[in-house]
Structures are given as structure tokens and as C-alpha cells.
A and B are shown apart, each in its own frame.
Chain A
Amino acid sequence: QKEVEQNSGPLSVPEGAIASLNCTYSDRGSQSFFWYRQYSGKSPELIMFIYSNGDKEDGRFTAQLNKASQYVSLLIRDSQPSDSATYLCAVNLGFSGGYQKVTFGTGTKLQVIP
């Protein structure tokens, strides 16, 4: 079982709709969770992070964390064509062996159709 799993997509949504991106992780001790957006040919950029169970909202983005079920999701409201990118989920597995270990998923490609 992979440490961090994402559906590779592509996930296609019409402009203005809600895009829902999901990520599951295997280590129950994981402490913090990150969503990065990566445009084609560019490097990942951080868009959200969440540490506690529940929802965290930032503009059109909402991160949802459920530690009991070991999943984290990203909702994008009012999706725009400019949101078309690959979304990477990253999980901080916590302090292990003297350092913080972060693992990335393979990413979900989102296509927003005008």
C-alpha cells in the first residue's frame, strides 16, 4: 500500500462547478497535510495546509481532514479554467528518526471546461 494515494485523473468539471480532489494516507500517525498546485512545466506551489480534523477555508479553496478515515480532500468552489493543473497531496508523517518526513502523492490532474 502506498503511503499517499491519489486518483491520477483527469478529473473534468465544468466552469463554475465544485471540484473535489481526494487523498488517502496509510500512516495513522500523520500530523499535517498539504495541497500543492502544479501547472504544466512549473514547480509545485503550496495552496493549503491543514493540521486538525474538520474544514479549513481559504477563499475558493476548502481543505477537509478526517483522521479517523485517513483521508484529506480539497474542494475548489466556482472552478475556473485557470484552476486546471495537477494537485499534489503531501503528508507529514511526523517526527521520525529525528526529522520530519513528508511524502507526496502522484497528483490528480484537474481540467476545468469553459
Chain B
Amino acid sequence: EAGVAQSPRYKIIEKRQSVAFWCNPISGHATLYWYQQILGQGPKLLIQFQNNGVVDDSQLPKDRFSAERLKGVDSTLKIQPAKLEDSAVYLCASSLELGGSYEQYFGPGTRLTVT
């Protein structure tokens, strides 16, 4: 079974530029999560999709961040314009949530550096 795929793995941009991240979850997983993890901290949920609908985006800075999940599969997360404090690892995870299985499986992450 293929794992969660993310790209790019690394990105360096200047502040005020825009950037987009892509995630392909494990096949059949209904729920997809985007997390921001700043060095030394735990993952912070940005947005949670169930199939292609948003169920939680309460911590997403909506003035600069946006996300979509097309056809309930792939997802993209965009930042426009980026700020220095957006430097972090962006993790995508997915879970099956069928039959009470709520374990999350993470992709390798995208390390974003904003200069």
C-alpha cells in the first residue's frame, strides 16, 4: 500500500511570494489533514477534509491560506502572501475512519523557508 505523497519536499521563497503544496493521500482514506509544525512544537491542525468537504478550518489563517480537495482525493494548500512566521514543515496526513479506524498516516512533509 502506497503511503501519503507530498510535494515539493523543500521550498524556499521570499516574503510576500506565494507557494502551493500538494498531497495525495492513501487510497480510500476519507479524511485528509494539513498540519503546520514549527520546530520544537507539535503538529498544529490547519484544515481537515472529510471526502471533499471541509469539516474544520478553525485554525487556518484564511486571509493568506487556502486549501482545496478535489474529488475527495488530492489536496493543495496555498499560502499567498507568505510571511516570515510561515516558515515551518507542512504535513499532510490521511485516515480511513471506517469501522472506527482513526489512526493518521503522515506524508514526508514539505519544509518551507520564508526569507
* Chain A positions near chain B (C-beta within 8 angstroms): 8, 32, 34, 42-46, 49, 88, 90, 92, 97-107
Contact = CB atoms under 8 A, between A and B. Distances in A.
A46 B103 contact: yes
Interface stretch (B14-22, B40-48, B62-70, B76-84): B40-48
Nearest to A92: B102
A13 to B, nearest CB: 21
Contacts of B56: 97, 99, 101
Interface residues of B, number: 23
A49 B103 contact: yes
Contacts of B48: 99
Given A43-B109, A105-B42, A107-B42, A99 B102 contact: no
A88 B97 contact: no
B91 interface: yes
Contacts of A105: 42
B34 interface: no
A106 B41 contact: yes
Contacts of B109: 43
Given A43-B91, A88-B42, A32 B102 contact: yes
B39 to A, nearest CB: 10
B27 to A, nearest CB: 18
A42 B37 CA distance: 11
Interface in B71-110: 89, 91, 97, 102-109
B12 interface: no
* Interface pairs A-B: 10 shortest CB-CB: A99-B55, A43-B106, A106-B42, A104-B42, A43-B109, A104-B43, A44-B106, A46-B103, A107-B42, A92-B102
B108 A43 contact: yes
A100 to B, nearest CB: 6
Nearest to A46: B103
A102 B42 contact: no
Given A32-B102, A43-B108, A98 B43 contact: no
